[in-house]
């Protein structure tokens, strides 16, 4: 009887899980905009969202020169950021719809081109320089601090011809 009751409960639990709503993936339809005025204004553009979320929270982070600033809400203003700065801009958006949470995270690096904030892209490769290494094969022995040594004691780590060794006997 206990096994039958357990089987019914497990079956009921599996059916309940299967009926849960699938999440609505809205992250691809979210973008942001920047304002070209003094400081750095950003806002979330959700006009492309096809669903109607129950609620939405937005957290911003703008970093430049080793300092990061936080903002919250659909719009944020970062007065500390100047047009001469390179900015790493990130947002986290939490969207709730019908009891399902979706979290969207996105980061871009932006520069000011004189009239607009634009994506800073390093994908346009202009050249590749090959790095060559000089292989040392002089059989000299060095300790881990790079000092040349003549004798290595048992259990000591040393370097010879660019490779690390431990003397075991």
Domain covering 23-119 assigned CATH 1.10.287 in the classification: no
The closest of 32, 63, 61, 66 to 46, measured between CA atoms, is 32
pLDDT confidence of residue 126: 59
Count of positions (residues) in the chain:
169
CB 165 within 8 A of CB 157: yes
Q: Which residues pair with 87 in a beta bridge?
A: 110
pLDDT confidence of residue 127: 63
Copy the structure tokens of residue 46: 């959700």
DSSP-derived pairing of the beta strands 40-45 and 31-35? antiparallel
* Average pLDDT along the chain: 79
Residue 6 has pLDDT above 70, yes or no: no
Q: What are phi and psi of 101, to 5 degrees?
A: -100, 130
Q: CA distances (Å), 19 to each of 12, 14, 15, 16, 32, in order? A: 11, 9, 6, 5, 34
Residue 25 has pLDDT above 70, yes or no: no
Break the chain into its structural domains and give their ranges: 23-119, 133-169
pLDDT bin (cut points 50, 70, 90) of residue 49 is confident
Share of the chain above pLDDT 70, in %: 78
Residue 132 has pLDDT above 60, yes or no: yes
Copy the structure tokens of residue 153: 């004691």
pLDDT bin (cut points 50, 70, 90) of residue 12 is very low
Residue 19 has pLDDT above 60, yes or no: no
Look up tokens 């004691």; give the residue.
153
Residue range 144-159: mean pLDDT, rounded? 90
3-state secondary structure of 12: helix
Residue 14 has pLDDT above 60, yes or no: no
Residue 21 has pLDDT above 50, yes or no: no
For residue 3, the surrounding DSSP H or E stretch is helix 2-18
Residue, of 134 and 36, whose pLDDT is higher: 134
58-70 burial string, b = 16+ CB within 10 Å, else e?
A: bebbbbbeeeebe
CB 85 within 8 A of CB 110: no
Look up tokens 């957290």; give the residue.
59
Share of the chain above pLDDT 90, in %: 20
């Amino acid at each position: 009887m206990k096994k039958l009751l357990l089987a019914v409960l497990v079956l009921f639990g599996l059916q309940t899980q299967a009926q849960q709503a699938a999440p609505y993936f809205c992250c691809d339809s979210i973008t942001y905009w920047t304002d070209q005025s003094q400081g750095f204004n950003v806002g979330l553009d959700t006009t492309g969202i096809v669903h109607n979320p129950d609620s939405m929270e937005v957290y911003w982070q703008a970093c430049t020169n080793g300092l990061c600033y936080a903002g919250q809400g659909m719009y944020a203003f970062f007065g500390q950021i100047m047009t001469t700065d390179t900015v790493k801009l990130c947002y986290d958006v939490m969207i709730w719809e019908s009891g399902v949470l979706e979290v969207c995270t996105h980061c871009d690096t932006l520069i000011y081109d004189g009239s607009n904030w634009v994506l800073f892209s390093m994908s346009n490769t202009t050249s590749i320089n090959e790095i060559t290494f000089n292989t040392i094969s002089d059989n000299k022995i060095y300790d881990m601090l790079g000092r040349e040594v003549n004798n290595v004691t048992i259990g000591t780590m040393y370097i010879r011809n660019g490779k690390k060794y431990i003397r075991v006997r």
